[in-house]
Amino acid sequence: MSGRLIAVSNRVAIPRGGQAAGGLAVGVLAALQEYGGIWFGWDGKTTDSEPHDARLQHDGNITYATINLNAGEFDAYYNGFSNETLWPLFHFLLGFFRYNRHNFEAYLRVNALFARKLVPLLEADDILWIHDYHLIPLAAELRRAGVTQPIGFFLHVPFPSFDVLRALPVHEHLLRCLCSYDVVGFHTQRDLRSFQECIAQPQIGAQILSDGRVRAGDRTLRADVFPIGIEVDTCARLAVENAGKKPVERLRQSLLGRRMIMGVDRLDYSKGLPERFNAYERLLEHYPGNRGDVVLLQIAPPTRTGIRTYAEIREELERIAGHINGRFAEIDWVPVRYLNRGFDRGMLMALYREARVGLVTPVRDGMNLVAKEYVAAQDPDDPGVLVLSTLAGAAYELEQAVLINPYDTDGVAEGIQTALEMSLGERRERHAAMLEVLTRNDIQTWRTRFVDALSSVRGEPGP
Terminal CA-CA length for the chain:
5
361 vs 274: CA distance, rounded Å: 10
When computed from its CA atoms, the radius of gyration of the chain, rounded to whole angstroms, is 23
Other Cβ atoms closer than 10 A to 421: 11
Tell me the catalytic residues. Answer: 156, 365
444 vs 137: CA distance, rounded Å: 27
Inter-residue contact 132 to 154 (CB < 8 Å): yes
Cα within 13 Å of Cα(271), Cβ side: 25
75 vs 103: CA distance, rounded Å: 8
Strands in 357-360's sheet, in edge-to-edge order, are 336-339, 294-299, 259-264, 357-360, 385-389, 402-404
Other Cβ atoms closer than 10 A to 46: 16
DSSP class of 136: T
Inter-residue contact 447 to 441 (CB < 8 Å): no
37 vs 445: CA distance, rounded Å: 19
298 vs 293: CA distance, rounded Å: 17
429-459 as b/e: b if 16+ CB within 10 A: ebbeebbebbeebbbbbbbbbbbebbbebee
33 vs 261: CA distance, rounded Å: 37
Select from 177, 183, 182 the least CA-distant residue to 199: 177
2 vs 353: CA distance, rounded Å: 42
